[in-house]
Structure formats: C-alpha cells, structure tokens
Structure 1
C-alpha cells in the first residue's frame, strides 16, 4: 500500500495517531495524518444521521413511506410504495444492488443531463419502477437505496442533500475539512492522497486516474449520499464521537441516538448506516463498524461505545480481493489492543457484509 494512517480517540481525547508512506506511489510527497481522504461508504452513517436529525425535528419519521414523498408514486412498482425510510437506510427495501443497476440502466445513467438533484431524482424514479431485487425486509446492500432515501429528504425539506449534510453534520460537528467529492485530481505534485488499485496477485499498486467530468457528475448525483464524503481522520473522529455522546450534547435525541447504534433486526447486523456486532472487547456494549472505499481509497472504523473508544484506519489503496480491508482491520486490531490494555487477540471479522460500487 502506498500509505497508511490511523488514529484512536478515547473519552474524546486523541490518544494515538500516525501516518506512514506516500500520497502517490513512487512519489516523495508524504501521506499526512491531517490529509482529507475519501471515506467511501462510511458516508452512509452520515446520511442516516442526517435522517435522524430530520426525524428529531418531526420533518420525517422512520416509518415515512415512499408514497408520502413522491407525487408520481403511482408509476412505481407497487411493492415499493409502502417501503419506509428506515428500510431504505437498513438495506431492507428491496432496491437493487449497484451491479444490477448498471446492468439494467448503466448506459442511460452515464448519459444523463441536468443538475445533481435532477439526476438523483432520475436514479430514484428508475430503480423504484423496477421489480424489487429481493422481497421487502430481506437484506440486500444497495447504494441506490440511499439515493432514494436522500431524495425523500430533499422532497420534504426543499433542500438538496448537499446543503442538508452541511447543515446537520459538517457545521454542527465543526468538521472544517469535510467536503463532497474526490480529494485528488491528476495534477503533480499531488496535493492530497491519490487512490490506487492493487490487482490480485500483484504487489505494486496502480494509481487511479480521476474520472471524466461527465461520469464524476452523474456519480456524484447517484453516489453522493452513500459514498462521496471526504474529510480528515480527525474530523471523521468528531462525527463518530458524536454517536458516543450525541444524547448528552443534545446533538441527537435519546431515541435517535439509540436507534442509530442498533441493528435493524435481531441482536447483530446492519442497522441504519452502521454494522453492529457482539464482541467481548466492546463489552458491556456492542462494537460498531463500517468500511468504505471510493476513488481507490479505503477506510475502516471500529467503535466500542461503552468504552468511548474510537479507532480508524485508512490507506490510499483498494483491492478487489479485499486484502487492503483486511490489512486495515489488522492495523485496527493493534490499536485496539493497545488502548484496551489487552494482551488477547482482538476479534474483528467484519468483511463480507458490504458490497461497494467502487466508483
């Protein structure tokens, strides 16, 4: 991997941080702990948190249905009309996965004209007219399901998702480095970490060129709410810590703060933008997890809420076989063991729950 960074936050205090390697393979510009990075699908918890803020303000409820937000719902597949905001955020509404979306609508998608909100609405309308890929309440990881949820929020507020996420997440949590979109471009020397791809059975990562203007535009429309956020690890830790103390600070109501740290169903599994696991090292609470990759960058976080311990690791590299994700988990394991004062092996075993779209 070209570069690796990680940090640990305990009781709201930064207790450990570090960065090693380079922003670009074979280039002398060092990766810095202060660099803004693309966190990929870790953005989903931010969009779910935005929904929670709107629920607290009674602009939405978790059970708000699609037909309540779309005036053209009669044109949708009937099985989607009563799908709820909560089901969409938990990947339980039956919305197709990304590969299915591109198989069915890829050419029409990349040819879309219009502004971000118009294309986002086209994506939502398109997937809701299709037959659900799985029955309602069956789990299927769906990036486009988050697009639908974002459009619902846009419909009830009259604001686009971009302004909402700034108003309800970036600004109140003082995430000054936060932005939407790729952190790097094709210029040299690199001003930010450049994404790389590590091919199977290879040891040298390949730099990822930036997407064309048109593809970046339509991907922003569709994937913004589920994977386009970028920020420094320090600012990301502020967001994660808000979920540990959000009820105490008034950032979230008690009910919403609790809901956003629970699985949708059962005692483990995907909740609303975050995965929840039973792990002995997180007792007396549960462990919270998500990973994300976007533009050839990969980020992982693990949280022990009851211990007020947050750990994040990042590399400017992704691999189709998941080896970079496992390396980040290994880095997290070392950090957790240190700050939990544990000599035992730290059980993580998270990967396989998330199906990324790797834009």
Structure 2
C-alpha cells in the first residue's frame, strides 16, 4: 500500500534518525580477550588497556594466574612486558642527554674506555646504540657462556654482572655492516652501563627516579612475578624466576607492572608527540618516535608507516622473555593506543592471542585508511 507523502517523509526521517543515533558498537575489550583466548586455548590469561583522550578508556583482564589453577587474574595484577621496557630505558637516556650528562654523538670507545671491544664498536655512538644501528649481535653469541652468566647467583652487584656480560659481548664480531639495523639487547645493556658510569648510580635507581616515579608508576618492579601473582608459561606449564631473563638483564627486558602503570608511560608518550609530555622536551620525544638510520626503529619503538591498514606513523613494540608476550600499538597523532599482554610465550600461542585481540579493537583506535 502506498503511504501519503507526509507519512512517507516521517518514515524516512525516522529511519535516518535511527541510522545517525546507532553507530557501530565499539569492540568490548573483555570480549576481544575471550575470543582471542578461545582461538588460542593454551593461553591461561590476558589483559588489555585501551588508551584515548589522555586516559585509559577501557581495561579488561581474563583467565587464570596459573594454568590449571582457580585464581583468576584481576585488574591490578602485574605482567611481564619483556622488551617493552626498552622505551623506558631510552627515555632515561634521553633525560640524561637533555641534562648534558651524556650526548647522542658520544662514542662507545670514549664512554667506556676500559672495556676491550671490536674496533668497529668503539666508534658506535649512543644514538646508534639506542636505535640498534651499532652492529651489535642480538645477544651474546656464545650460548653456553650466556647460559652461565644468566645463572650467575653471586652476590656481585647487578652493574658488575652487566659489565661481565658486556666484556664478552663486545668481543663478538659485528652482526652486520656499519650503520645497518640489527636489533640488539646488548646495545641497551650498554646504554644502562653508560648511564651508570656517567652518574655513579645504578640503572634501577635511575629508572625509578627519572621515569617511574615522575609518572606515578609506583607498582612497577624489576625481575618477574612471584608466587600468588600471574605466572609466565612455556611448554604447557608455568615457569619461574629461573626461566626468565636474569635481573641484570632488566634494561633490555625485565620489568613487571600492572596494565595501569604501563598505560601511564604510554599515555606520556602519546602526550609527548603533541608537545605535552612530562619527561622530555618536544624534541626529545620526536627523537624517540622518529626512525633513525636505515631501520624502522626510533629509540625504544618501532616506527612504522602503517599498521593493520591504518596510516601512521605508528609506534609499535613487542616484548617476550619466551614465557610472556606483550604488545603496545600507539597512534600518536590521534592520541589512541592499545596495550595487550598474555602470560604465555609464543610456543603456547601468546603472540597469536595478543595480535588477535589487538586486531579486534584496532577499528576503534583508528578507522581503516582508504
């Protein structure tokens, strides 16, 4: 039956009003974690924090602290973020540079003259160390010696243990040509040792004073989780302190913290991209968040042109000690981001679960680019 024109107009307006008033529903972070864990059934627990407009817009956790256990994770639980601590080490070094204690073009041979090293390394600059362009291998090449140093339970200071590791690592031949991108944990351990030499204080003291405390990250700590907290997992079972990076390795990958504390750091990075960060000058944040040299790496961040079909630049970093998997994805120019972590390593699907959860909420962070 044909409607009179006035009634037809009212129907059209009503339909238009419904269309305008009912935008696509935003992804629910809890549901995103549920779906990711259903697809990767070995993952015991996950957490997610969605960032936007200068705050945490949503936070969710799912699962159990230990595989086969009954205790469920809660929002305040700590998670191991692996190499995602590198961005914090980079900020620490940036603060020392802005204070004039260090300089980006200082060379390693001058900064650490008492350490014997391959000749090429002596000319590597602090800037190259922080952006993985110093030619250093990923880790100490001698796996047996690395295992021995990782198991060192002596009472020596963490700084002394770092120097023992570095003395061997700097004897390893370069992993690539000068100036080429080679991701290296050793470079960040060197940066920590340089900061310690320049200030007379440990990296742990410096990071807490220069980065964690100013941002109110008072629940962050070094090492890994303890009994009663979420445990890392590998090979289908829970792991412990002896299965992760040793304490001296923390500048490259050894920090545990609740999602809320991690978010405080990443929110400051987003603010810094807009000139309102609390820890560095605008130029300092630009340095961190701009690709250096030949690789898509700034300082502590991958800086990629696109992520998931969305134009960037996008700040991305994954971290894993093989027992956990953490991923941060930040869009500095619209102030949004997401942090996701799983208490399972890649062999149990931790990486796949984290990436699946990120993909679910990505449309809410930034619409797909044409």
**Which residue matches 1:188?**
none
Partners of 2:218 and 2:153 in 1: how far apart?
32
Q: Displacement, 1:3?
A: 0.8
Partners of 2:215 and 2:74 in 1: how far apart?
22
Aligned residues: 325
Matches within 5 A, 1:169-318: 169-185=211-227, 191-197=228-234, 199=235, 205-211=236-242, 219-221=246-248, 223-246=249-272, 247-265=275-293, 269-279=296-306, 285-294=312-321, 296-318=323-345
Matches within 5 A, 1:92-241: 92-98=133-139, 100-103=141-144, 105-107=146-148, 110-111=151-152, 113=154, 114-185=156-227, 191-197=228-234, 199=235, 205-211=236-242, 219-221=246-248, 223-241=249-267
Within the alignment, does 1:87 sit opposite 2:115 as a pair? no
Q: Alpha carbon RMSD of aligned pairs, Å? A: 2.4
**In the alignment, is the contact (CA less than 8 A) between 1:25 and 1:207 conserved in 2?**
yes
Partners of 1:105 and 1:313 in 2: how far apart?
30
Partners of 1:14 and 1:108 in 2: how far apart?
39
Partners of 2:88 and 2:329 in 1: how far apart?
15
Partners of 1:17 and 1:115 in 2: how far apart?
37
**In the alignment, is the contact (CA less than 8 A) between 2:322 and 2:346 conserved in 1?**
no
Partners of 1:179 and 1:100 in 2: how far apart?
28
Partners of 2:67 and 2:114 in 1: how far apart?
49
Alpha-carbon deviations, 1:177-205, whole Å to 9, x = none? 111111124xxxxx2111111x4xxxxx3
Partners of 1:105 and 1:304 in 2: how far apart?
37
Residues 112/181 of structure 1: CA separation in 2 closer, same or farther (3 Å cut): closer
Q: Based on CA coordinates, which of the two structures has the bigger radius of gyration?
A: 2
TM-score using structure 2 length:
0.81
Within the alignment, does 1:333 sit opposite 2:359 as a pair? yes
Partners of 1:168 and 1:40 in 2: how far apart?
20
Task: Name the SS for the 1:279 alignment partner.
Answer: strand
Partners of 2:278 and 2:324 in 1: how far apart?
33
Matches within 5 A, 1:22-41: 22-41=64-83
Partners of 1:147 and 1:153 in 2: how far apart?
10
Task: Name the SS for the 2:329 alignment partner.
Answer: strand
Q: Displacement, 1:301?
A: 0.9
Q: Displacement, 1:101?
A: 4.1
Runs of 5+ in structure 2 lacking a partner? Answer: 1-42
Partners of 2:95 and 2:360 in 1: how far apart?
34
Q: Displacement, 1:112?
A: 7.3
**Which residue matches 1:352?**
none
**In the alignment, is the contact (CA less than 8 A) between 1:38 and 1:295 conserved in 2?**
no
**In the alignment, is the contact (CA less than 8 A) between 1:97 and 1:143 conserved in 2?**
yes
Q: Displacement, 1:98?
A: 2.1
Quick one: which of 45, 57, 71 aligns to 2:99?
57
Q: Displacement, 1:125?
A: 2.0
Residues 335/270 of structure 1: CA separation in 2 closer, same or farther (3 Å cut): same
